[in-house]
Amino acid sequence: MQAPPSTPRIRITADEINCLLYSYLKESGFDHSAFAVCKEAKLENSPYFQKHIPRGELIELLSKALLYVEVEVHWKTDSDSMTTTCKSGFSLLDSHVCSSEPAPIIPIPAISITSLEGKSLAESTKRKASPVASDGPQEKRSRTDDMELDGPSESKAKLEANSRPMSPEPGKKALAAKAPKPRTQGPVDDSTDPNAILLLPGHLSEVFVCAFNPKIPSLLATGSKDAVVKIWSLPDPNSPSGFAPPPEPPVVLDFGTKDGPGDLTSLHWNYDGSLLAIGSYDRVLRICTAKGQILFQHSQHQGPIFASRFSPSGRWVASSSLDGTACLWDVQKRLLVRQHKLHAECCLDVDWITDEIFGSCSANGQIHILSVNETDPLKVLSGHKTEINRMKVNPSGTRLASCSDDATARIWNVEKLGGEKDGIPGLSSSSDHVVVLSGHRHSVTTVAWCPYQPAGTSEMIATSSFDGTARFWDSATGECLHVFSDHRRSIYALIFSPDGQWLATGSGDGFLHIYNVITKQKRWSWFAGSDKPGVFEIDWQQQEDGLNRVALALECRQLAVIDAQKIPALRTLN
């Protein structure tokens, strides 16, 4: 009698572990440590050294190991049920103790450890660039914190279905598990017109940022990890052939340098679409014309630039940097007006409140409100426990939203900042009302105001997190109106359509999901592909003539442009 084939055994080698560790160190910005591991482990001779290791792979594998441990701990051998009352979490370094009370959220500290290159770890997990010469989330956007997360019960059920039983039951033959067929790039549904999606494969590295020109609908700017900006002239989707004819070759601006990484982190057009502000890891602020001609460039910052934004009139540009400063630039005079050296740690974002007042946020959990006419801050907003990743001002310029690694977002009243300063410099007024949005289980990385506000209702706001969810909130009460939990990895991008009818999210799992804001139902999805699947940034363009397009900056080195007019599910709201 022939013995049944043995179950394939799991094989893990030290060589594989060393390659994973090397990849993690590169992603985190520890180039010297990675170099040491490479040489001591002789990874150049390893058959795995040239294999593509997805960003955050070590973290993801550890996360899956914790999920298995959770199942193992809670599985009762004398019962056919799971322990469902435990709400205590699992961690790599602490022993698990079951509890019916949820464990308090421990804020993720703004890590101040730096590599020999002087780059902050906080930056490596947030910015879309290589913290050193590699990841940025690699992905902000390195996303070394990119984890596959599910709710406790869902995780257990999924693992139980996929992993149990681990050996054949007595008297039964083991069934050979068929590997699932990889999903191909494209729409999740079968009815989308193939001509609705235009793929532009011109970049040679991951595409981190994209921005439609606000006045010249055919122009789209993109920036990639290899320090290249491209300005595309897109075909008219209303033509009979739609996206069928490929666009003309783009205008290419190559800022590549041998001195260090040049990942593109920020692209922002001025109000009339004539100028483009460019932020980069090479520390240089650049402003170019719509035709790609450099109008101005300056290397005042001593660290990577994370954000560069025009004021509403286009007269000023504000920039933020890893060096802890925010710079104010006069566009017409092409000069630096002032460098605010106020933040104790890296300055992660800036946004304009009026044409003369802007805010900057930092890894120390503070927001500084600054004026183009003042050296000192008009106000300092404190409350976040650790680094603030993004800040956005509402369309009316009266309220500012911020999101942080402390797993919260906050809404601040900034309506009367043009008046007198606080009585005590550097302190926010005790009468200021702050709305705290609590509910995420991990760092909140993106925040967006909804342009649509039904009569008699409060402004709505959306947040997304490394916990893989996006949330919809009432900005006045702080009530969570809905949780979107379709993604299985960290969400990198979140945007409302300009008319406020749709919400789009993009994730490290490769999916773009578009939701109806009113019904809060998912209406359409698109998958970026199994190889390097991350969706790093989304921009949405709508014009009065019916033009309705969505651009996606992709890890797979492509740019996707989706013509929403050709997607039936996105033409109606019901």
Share of the chain above pLDDT 70, in %: 75
pLDDT of residue 151: 40
pLDDT of residue 120: 35
Q: For residue 29, what are the contacts with CB-CB under 8 A and spacing of at least 6?
A: 115, 117, 119, 120, 121, 123, 124, 130, 131, 132, 134, 135, 142
Phi, psi of 58 (to 5 degrees): -65, -45
Output helix, strand, coil percentages for the chain, rounded to the nearest 5.
Answer: 10, 35, 55
- Containing H/E element for 157? helix 152-163
Select from 110, 557, 88, 102 the least CA-distant residue to 324: 110
Which of 120-124, 239-243, 371-375 is the most confident on average?
371-375
pLDDT band at residue 476, thresholds of 50, 70 and 90? Answer: very high
- Arithmetic mean of pLDDT, 149-175: 40
pLDDT at 134 exceeding the cut of 60: no
Q: Number of helices (H) and strands (E), helices first, in the chain?
A: 5, 33
- Containing H/E element for 60? helix 57-74
Rounded CA Rg of the chain: 24
pLDDT tens for each residue of 39-74: 888 888 888 877 778 777 887 788 777 677 766 666
Distances (CA, A) of 14 to 17, 41, 48, 53: 5, 9, 11, 16
Between CA 80 and CA 172 the distance in angstroms is 19
Which value, to the nearest 10 degrees, does the dihedral of the CA atoms of residues 393, 395, 398, 401 take?
-30
Select from 567, 487, 500, 495 the least CA-distant residue to 538: 495
Between CA 394 and CA 333 the distance in angstroms is 29
Averaged pLDDT score across all residues of the chain: 81
The two tokens of residue 441 are: 């289980």
pLDDT of residue 153: 37
Between CA 541 and CA 552 the distance in angstroms is 12
Specify the higher pLDDT residue, 358 or 193: 358
Angle 428-126-377 from CA coordinates, rounded to 5°:
25
pLDDT of residue 414: 94
What does pTM read for this prediction? Answer: 0.73
Between CA 204 and CA 195 the distance in angstroms is 24
Select from 440, 379, 350 the least CA-distant residue to 404: 440
pLDDT of residue 165: 36
Look-up: residue for tokens 């464990």?
A: 103
